Amino acid sequence: MTAASPVRPADAAAGGVTARRGRDGAATRARIEEEALRLFAERGVDGTSVRDIAQAAGVAEGALYRHFASKEALARELFLSRYAVLARQIEDIAGRVPDFEGRIRAVVEHACRLFDEAPALFTFLLIAQHDHLAHVPDRQGNAVAALAQIMADAQVAGVRLPQPVDLAAAMALGAVVQPAVFAVYGRLARPLGGHAGAIAEGVLSLLTGTR
């Protein structure tokens, strides 16, 4: 039986450096993403430079380019990854809330909570959608598709909604997004969660015409 080769100090040290660099790299990337998200929400992608992001994140511009090919690539990845998370959250609501009205109320409450607790993320998704929605997959990772599926399930269950389901999803989304826009520009008092009940009632009335 061959004895195991002893671990040399240099090998252990090298392994520690590799692990540390991996952790440091992940932390740096997360910091870049956080600051980019904040700046994009405040100034827009066009109004934010790579230097702005690097300075805010406390890294050299070269460090940013080691993680992202360009500012536009960073914005695209931020949008697609966060949009996919939102899609999964809507799918989770659909999986745990059994009825259509309950699902609509839960989705509206979640959207309002996202606006209140992560305003930079909500604002970025709102203002950047026109640049990136065409690159969102048709189904997986698509928040609109997840919402449309709620509409389709409701129709199967006998709820009368506008056809096609994408129209119903668009109507519901508009009824949530526009109050958020008003809140961003100070036309509607914050927190948005304080209006969640009224917004949900409006969505349900808009879609079913029975309230």
**Inside any domain, residue 2:** no
Is pLDDT of 2 > 70? no
Interval 25-73: pLDDT, tens: 889 999 999 999 999 999 999 999 999 999 999 999 999 999 999 999 9
**Inside any domain, residue 102:** yes
Sign of the dihedral through C-alpha 29, 32, 38, 39: negative
pLDDT of residue 23: 58
Is pLDDT of 133 > 90? no
pLDDT of residue 210: 62
> How many domains does the chain contain in total?
2
Is pLDDT of 21 > 90? no
**Inside any domain, residue 3:** no
State whether 161 and 108 are in the same domain: yes
Q: Bigger pLDDT: 14 or 81? A: 81
Provide CB contacts within 8 A for 198, sequence distance 6+.
none
Angle between helices 165-184 and 119-132 (to 10 degrees): 130
State whether 82 and 62 are in the same domain: no
DSSP H or E segment with residue 43:
helix 9-43
Mean pLDDT computed over 141-161: 94
Is pLDDT of 124 > 70? yes
Mean pLDDT computed over 81-85: 93
pTM for this predicted structure = 0.82
